[in-house]
Amino acid sequence: MSDALDRLLVEIRACRACEACLPLGPRPVLSAGADARLMVVGQAPGRKVHESGIPWDDASGRRLREWMGIDSDTFYDPRRVAIVPMGFCYPGRAASGDAPPRPECRSLWHPRLMPLLPNIGLTLLIGQYAQAHFLGARRKRSLTDTVRSWQDYLPTHLPLPHPSPRNVGWFKANPWFEGEVLPTLRGRVAALVADDGAPADVCRSGFSRDR
């Protein structure tokens, strides 16, 4: 299965399906290993991530890792964490913030990718697009209501708001998130990413381990 995943990742990173719709051109950004037990599903790379090619390589990523209680080495170790956004390429800007993730990835690649990640014990659903796709009719009327109902989706999924600095107002208005959700998040993450003593496969991740 590892070889099949490696081949698929090569295909994905060479994808040009929606090239004409991408203002900066295609640069699929994701990371996955067949042994990963935790999956992070966000929206799509922002411009900074597009430029670096490293997922969550921005202020949002720093806050996300703080929420999860893990360092960059653990986060970027594909043996432990699969990072699979709804859209793999930077979609450009919209009226406020980035445009929604392109729909092609979830139809072209997600159905082929997910079966090659059989050990995922928890999927973090970050933002409304991931929650809509994975939760479907189980999603509540708003993102806040969905996140507030986080216990309804365990043990397989945990909905989260986007950790963007733009959402500081939401964090302040919803202190229950830090008090109730984050302790559970950190506990589940710690159990799932516990080091088994094997050397990290840096070459497969393709990301610097000292970020």
pLDDT value of residue 1? 67
**Nearest in space to 40 (alpha carbons), one of 185, 197, 209:** 185
CA–CA dist 21, 102 (Å, integer):
9
pLDDT value of residue 208? 47
pLDDT value of residue 180? 97
pTM of the model: 0.92
DSSP strands (E only) in the chain: 38-41, 81-83, 122-126, 157-160
pLDDT value of residue 97? 85
CA–CA dist 83, 75 (Å, integer):
9
pLDDT value of residue 196? 60
pLDDT value of residue 101? 97
Query: Mind listing the pLDDT tens digit of every residue in the chain (211 residues)?
Result: 689 999 999 999 999 999 999 999 999 999 999 999 999 999 999 999 999 999 999 999 999 999 999 999 999 999 999 999 999 999 999 988 899 999 999 999 999 999 999 999 999 999 999 999 999 999 999 999 999 999 999 999 999 999 999 999 999 999 999 999 999 999 999 999 997 655 444 444 456 444 3
Q: Which amino acid is at 189?
A: V
The fold adopted by the segment(s) 2-197 is Uracil-DNA Glycosylase, subunit E (3.40.470)
pLDDT value of residue 165? 95
Cis peptide, bond prior to residue 155, ω within 30 of zero: yes
Domain ranges in the chain are: 2-197
pLDDT value of residue 210? 40
pLDDT value of residue 113? 98
pLDDT value of residue 197? 53
